Structure 1
Amino acid sequence: MIEHLRPTFALLGGLTVLTGLVYPLALTGIAQVALPGRANGSLVEVDGRVVGSQLIGQAFTGAKWFHGRPSATTAPDPKDPAATAEAPYDAARSAGSNLGPLSRRLVERVRADTEALKAEAGVATVPGDAVTTSASGLDPHISPAFARLQVKRIAAARGLAPETLEALIVAHTRGRDLGFLGEPRVNVLDLDLALARLDPS
């Protein structure tokens, strides 16, 4: 019996070493050589300090900054362990809101955000990504239309010409991949870092 099992265990051990150790280590080594930045999380450094990742959004606040799309990530409420509290862009808890299109809470939140943005920007409509969350809650990009919607607020807060901010958005807009995949988009972290370099105030 043992003679019959020995080849099985040898094969199991060999494949475990090959697929569980050799293969992952080889791929990790190739990635570190070929694409070290991406292999290590596409981290963004400023003056030797990591300020974020190009792959994960951040909760930028304040009138002087471009804001990302809403995030539905939550965390345990420190006041009530049985409940949850909003924790925008919490990468450890990536998730959507799970609220369906008939959810009153979702409809009211989207309506309130839409009206607030309309009043702030003085427009009649707002782009969808300005008031809806992504499935992960961590989307680092916004549409160029949403970025332009924020120009009036940022220009007033920083005392910059709107044309300057428009040019910044154009310079940081990434087109469709391969010319037809996805939609044009702007990485909010990149845009805000460029804004900080333009106007350090």
Structure 2
Amino acid sequence: MNTHILPAIKLTLAMLILFVVAYPALLWGIGQLSDGKGKGMVIQQDGKTYYKNIGQSFQEAKYFWSRPSAVDYNAAGSGASNKGPNEKEYLATVQQRISHFLQHNPGVSKADIPVDLLTASGSGLDPHISVVAARVQIKRIAQERSLTEVQLHRLIDSCQERPLLGLLGPEKVNVLMLNLALDRLGK
């Protein structure tokens, strides 16, 4: 019995020290070396504080709209809706999003609306939309802000994030960064 219990207790204590003390301390230390000192990527503009890597709601017609959120952009608890295409409630929600988008973006057809403007991400906090999703909103924003479509195309191109190593992932745009740049452009 002693041949099994004593090694098990030693192993348990070693794992407790490793995973309860050493590993969290290592992650905390790595976080302290990052830009935000482990507190996230904080951006301040016009007296407001934003978090770059957390999706945020933009509903006004003068802004690029974010991807919908299943958690109402609450970073305290990320999560998906876990609803599928066979659920009537979910289909009704998506149809409402389509109608809302078409109402505020005349000239855009239903087939031209990118899926990332209609469905929430797995975390509900995705700060990015596809480049196509940004470009489909250009006419509305140009009209609302009295800017040219060429200016908005250039703005999207300047805020575009390329795939990691040129291979991994799609081209995308951080909606917060795009909208902050849009506000600066309008001044």
TM range (shorter): 0.7 to 0.9
Residue of structure 1 equivalent to 2:95: 111
Choose the corresponding residue for 2:54, options 31, 56, 76. 56
* Superposition TM-score, scaled by structure 2 size: 0.84
How many residue pairs match? The answer is 184
Map 1:78-97; keep pairs closer than 5 Å. Answer: 88-97=72-81
What does residue 65 of structure 2 align with?
67
Matched, 1:19 2:19: yes
SS in 1 for 2:36: helix
Distance, in Å, in 2 between the alignment partners of 1:112 and 1:18 is: 50
1:102-155 Cα shifts (integer Å, max 9, x gaps): 111222222232233234241222111111111111110001111111111111
Aligned counterpart, 2:30: 30
TM-score scaled by length of structure 1: 0.79
Report what 1:45 is aligned to.
Answer: 44
**Equivalent residue of 2:32, what SS?**
helix
- Deviations for 1:78-119, whole angstroms, at most 9, x for unmatched residues? xxxxxxxxxx21112322222221111222222232233234
Choose between structure 1 and 2: higher strand proportion. 1
**Shift in Å, 1:30:** 3.3
2:127 to 131, 136, 140: 140
Listed as ranges, the gaps of 5+ residues in structure 2 are: none
Could you tell me whether the CA contact under 8 Å between 1:43 and 1:50 is conserved in 2?
no
Distance change in 2, residues 1:188/1:38 (3 Å): farther
Judge conservation of contact 1:121–1:150 (CA < 8 Å) in 2. no
Q: In 1, Cα distance between the equivalents of 2:99 and 2:115?
A: 13
Counterpart secondary structure, 1:69: coil
1 CA distance for matches of 2:37 and 2:98?
35
* Partners of 1:115 and 1:60 in 2: CA distance: 17
> How far did residue 10 of structure 1 move?
5.6
Identity of aligned residues (%): 40
Is the CA contact (8 Å cut-off) linking 1:63 and 1:157 kept in structure 2? yes
CA 23–114 in structure 1, closer or farther in 2 if over 3 Å, else same: closer
Q: Is the 8 A contact 1:65 1:154 kept in 2?
A: yes
Alignment of 1:145-164 (within 5 A): 145-164=132-151
Give the root-mean-square deviation of aligned CA atoms: 2.5
CA distance in 2, matches of 1:72, 1:12: 39
Q: Aligned with 1:95: secondary structure?
A: coil
Cα deviation for residue 16 of structure 1 reads 2.7
Give the aligned residue type for 2:52: Q
